[in-house]
Amino acid sequence: MKELKYLNKYFKKYWLKLLLGVIITIIARIFSLVMPSYVKKSIEVIEDFSADQLLEQEARGLLLEYILIILATALLSGLFTFLMRQTIINVSRYIEYDLKNEVFDHYQYLNLNFYKKNRTGDLMNRISEDINQVRLYAGPAIMYGMNALTLFACLIPLMFIKAPTIALYTIAPFPILSFLIYNISKIIHKRSTKVQEFLSRLSTFTQESFSGVAVIKAYGLEPKIHDDVETLASEGKSKSVDLAKVDAWFFPLMILLIGVSNIFVIYIGGKQYMNGEIDSIGIIAEFILYVNMLTWPVAIVGWLTSIVQRAEASQKRINEFLKEEPEIRNEVDESTPIEGKIEFRNVSFTYEDTEITALKNLSFTVHPGETVAILGKTGSGKSTVLELIARLYDVSGGEILIDDVPIKNLNLFSLREAIGTVPQDAFLFSDSISNNIKFGKNNATDEEVVTVAKNAVVHENIIGFSKQYDTVLGERGITLSGGQKQRVSIARALLKDPRIYLFDDCLSAVDTETEEEILNNLKQASQNRTTLIVSHRVSSAKNADKILVLEDGQLIQQGTHEELNAIEGYYKELYLNQLSEKEN
């Protein structure tokens, strides 16, 4: 129960509703206890009538009265049971909602390293399946637990007062039932976890197959994929059959033990009646009803134990993530407006997971409003420079200053607010084109959206779609070409109108003419804005105020296009190569 203590803050938050729920539970159970004793009384009336101790008229009157009492208490018990669910189950839904929000907010607060260490499927599972297990504890387990407790507390003493010997025999099989159900629940849990694992493997596999359907078709891999799915599915099937086998024991076992208890009631009750130890046959009927009332709560005790164990395990997994602290935190409360000067002083950076040193002693300065291009072979550290400016990672050595202030002394949100990033792989959400562009500025007008789309040279493409800016992208909508995606992503950054633009090789999928047009527009749009352009093409870099050339994380050349072209080196070679490619 150590891990489940985490939920106490939520129980405190909803204590009033919970208390009300507990009181209602007790009232509902007390009303349900009335019925068996009135069934007994009704049988006694029939017995008295048969023995000529009651007139027909009197017997009819009494029977009607008892039936009405039974009906009224059953209705009241039903009403309170409804209210019980409405309070306690609702509280568990509120807790589920709060916990999901808390976990989601915490996920968002964590750094990229966390997302690299943990698989998306695992993150999803903890926020959905694990929270659901916890909800079962916070709602149904409490409700059924209270229910069972109230029944045991009221009914068992009542049974012993009414007929101690019958009571003893009636409840004797119950601990066995509870024990068996506990064990069955444990086996069910183990096997259903395995089934769940297979289901998630199967759904991951099928999802990947659908996403990669173009590759599968192009390589004619359908038969192989079919065989793989079949192997996975048949493994899953045998696990499901195993589960169904244990599942099938649950109800027969319950019915068997109810039967045993009923036989005890009839046998012992009948013997006592014949010996004159009890004066009415009605007590047997009353006890049979008690047996039926007690069976489910007794079975529930076993079920509850396994629910609590599962919730404990799930809450442990949730707590593991909630305890994770982001390495990159905002330590400055007041906002810090950004002008746009960027300075790298002997910056080194090693990725924690791969231990690759992506940057080594890198130093350069970009003044506000300047445009700097970063070139270099693949893997030379260009994207890493941009990630460090947005403080997605903290440097391993050296220092980054923005507006002459160490980056850690800036408000993290002000910093990111001041940056417009266009990443290498443009990510667009499954939403309309317009909303995708408005991502960084929700309140933008339609005119503003059109202006930035024109500057990103994607407007003509968009108006070519039948729904134009309302065209939905992604799984439910159309798929944009690589170049179109990149340009929508550029439009998104332009709309934000930030102090610093970070363009990470975002024109790689557009032809050189469109590239030129976009670069000219960007020049206009990003006037007085600091701009960093990462590229493999000299055409993207040649108009920059400064060009940095990286190799193995080190700065090997820097200068303007003219300066670098005047000396032998990587830049000149690249320029000449690309020039001859163009001419050819």
- Alpha carbons 553 and 346: distance in angstroms, whole number: 11
Stretch touching ligand ATP by CB under 6 A, among 99-107, 362-370, 375-383, 459-467: 375-383
What are the structure tokens assigned to 292, written together? Answer: 């039926």
382 sits near ligand ATP (criterion: CB under 6 A):
yes
Please list the residues that pair with 402 across neighbouring strands. Answer: 342, 405
Q: Binding ligand ATP by CB under 6 A: which of 185, 384, 434, 436?
A: 384
The minimum distance between CB 393 and ligand ATP, in angstroms, equals: 8
Name which of 141 and 373 has its Cβ closer to ligand ATP: 373
What are the structure tokens assigned to 221, written together? Answer: 């891999």
- Alpha carbons 165 and 287: distance in angstroms, whole number: 12
16 sits near ligand ATP (criterion: CB under 6 A):
no
Q: Give the CA angle between residues 395, 399, 400 to the nearest 5°.
A: 90
Name which of 49 and 351 has its Cβ closer to ligand ATP: 351
- Please state the separation of Cα 577 from the chain's center in Å: 50
Residue 134 near residue 311 (C-beta atoms within 8 A): yes
Name which of 280 and 357 has its Cβ closer to ligand ATP: 357
Stretch touching ligand ATP by CB under 6 A, among 298-306, 380-388, 403-411, 566-574: 380-388
423 sits near ligand ATP (criterion: CB under 6 A):
no
- Alpha carbons 48 and 40: distance in angstroms, whole number: 12
353 sits near ligand ATP (criterion: CB under 6 A):
yes
- Alpha carbons 133 and 314: distance in angstroms, whole number: 7
The dihedral sign for the CA sequence 569, 572, 576, 582: positive
Name which of 354 and 466 has its Cβ closer to ligand ATP: 354
Q: Binding ligand ATP by CB under 6 A: which of 120, 378, 442, 443?
A: 378
Name which of 14 and 575 has its Cβ closer to ligand ATP: 575
355 sits near ligand ATP (criterion: CB under 6 A):
no
Residue 368 near residue 341 (C-beta atoms within 8 A): yes
* Strand residue runs (E) in 53-108: none
The minimum distance between CB 384 and ligand ATP, in angstroms, equals: 3
Measuring CA to CA, which residue among 387, 422, 383, 424 is closest to residue 407? 387
The minimum distance between CB 329 and ligand ATP, in angstroms, equals: 20
The minimum distance between CB 575 and ligand ATP, in angstroms, equals: 17
- Alpha carbons 454 and 115: distance in angstroms, whole number: 35
Name which of 354 and 580 has its Cβ closer to ligand ATP: 354
The minimum distance between CB 360 and ligand ATP, in angstroms, equals: 11
Name which of 275 and 378 has its Cβ closer to ligand ATP: 378
- Alpha carbons 437 and 323: distance in angstroms, whole number: 35
580 sits near ligand ATP (criterion: CB under 6 A):
no
113 sits near ligand ATP (criterion: CB under 6 A):
no
The minimum distance between CB 349 and ligand ATP, in angstroms, equals: 9
Name which of 235 and 394 has its Cβ closer to ligand ATP: 394
383 sits near ligand ATP (criterion: CB under 6 A):
yes
Stretch touching ligand ATP by CB under 6 A, among 139-147, 308-316, 346-354, 447-455: 346-354
Q: What is the DSSP string of 191-258?
A: HHHHHHHHHHHHHHHHHHHHHTHHHHHHTT-HHHHHHHHHHHHHHHHHHHHHHHHHHHHHHHHHHHHH
Site for ligand ATP in 479-508 (CB under 6 A): 505
379 sits near ligand ATP (criterion: CB under 6 A):
yes
376 sits near ligand ATP (criterion: CB under 6 A):
yes
Stretch touching ligand ATP by CB under 6 A, among 23-31, 338-346, 373-381, 480-488: 373-381
Name which of 394 and 403 has its Cβ closer to ligand ATP: 394
Q: In sequence order, which ranges of 323-420 are alpha helices (DSSP H)? A: 382-389, 412-417
What are the structure tokens assigned to 132, written together? Answer: 């659901």
Stretch touching ligand ATP by CB under 6 A, among 242-250, 312-320, 354-362, 430-438: 354-362
- Alpha carbons 36 and 81: distance in angstroms, whole number: 18
- Alpha carbons 350 and 359: distance in angstroms, whole number: 7
Name which of 257 and 548 has its Cβ closer to ligand ATP: 548
Q: What is the DSSP string of 530-551?
A: EEEEE-S-HHHHTTSSEEEEEE
Name which of 173 and 381 has its Cβ closer to ligand ATP: 381
- Alpha carbons 310 and 1: distance in angstroms, whole number: 11
374 three-class SS: strand
At residue 397, φ and ψ (nearest 5 deg) are: -155, 160
555 sits near ligand ATP (criterion: CB under 6 A):
no
Q: How many residues bind ligand ATP (CB under 6 A)?
A: 15
356 sits near ligand ATP (criterion: CB under 6 A):
yes
380 sits near ligand ATP (criterion: CB under 6 A):
yes
Name which of 145 and 381 has its Cβ closer to ligand ATP: 381
273 sits near ligand ATP (criterion: CB under 6 A):
no
Q: In sequence order, which ranges of 404-506 are alpha helices (DSSP H)? A: 412-417, 433-437, 446-455, 459-463, 482-496
Please list the residues that pair with 530 across neighbouring strands. Answer: 500
Measuring CA to CA, which residue among 225, 229, 199 is closest to residue 214? 225
Stretch touching ligand ATP by CB under 6 A, among 144-152, 229-237, 377-385, 457-465: 377-385
- Alpha carbons 178 and 184: distance in angstroms, whole number: 10
The minimum distance between CB 356 and ligand ATP, in angstroms, equals: 4
The minimum distance between CB 318 and ligand ATP, in angstroms, equals: 26
Name which of 141 and 532 has its Cβ closer to ligand ATP: 532
What are the structure tokens assigned to 195, written together? Answer: 């089934």
Residue ranges that bind ligand ATP, judged by CB under 6 A: 351, 353-354, 356, 358, 376, 378-384, 424, 505
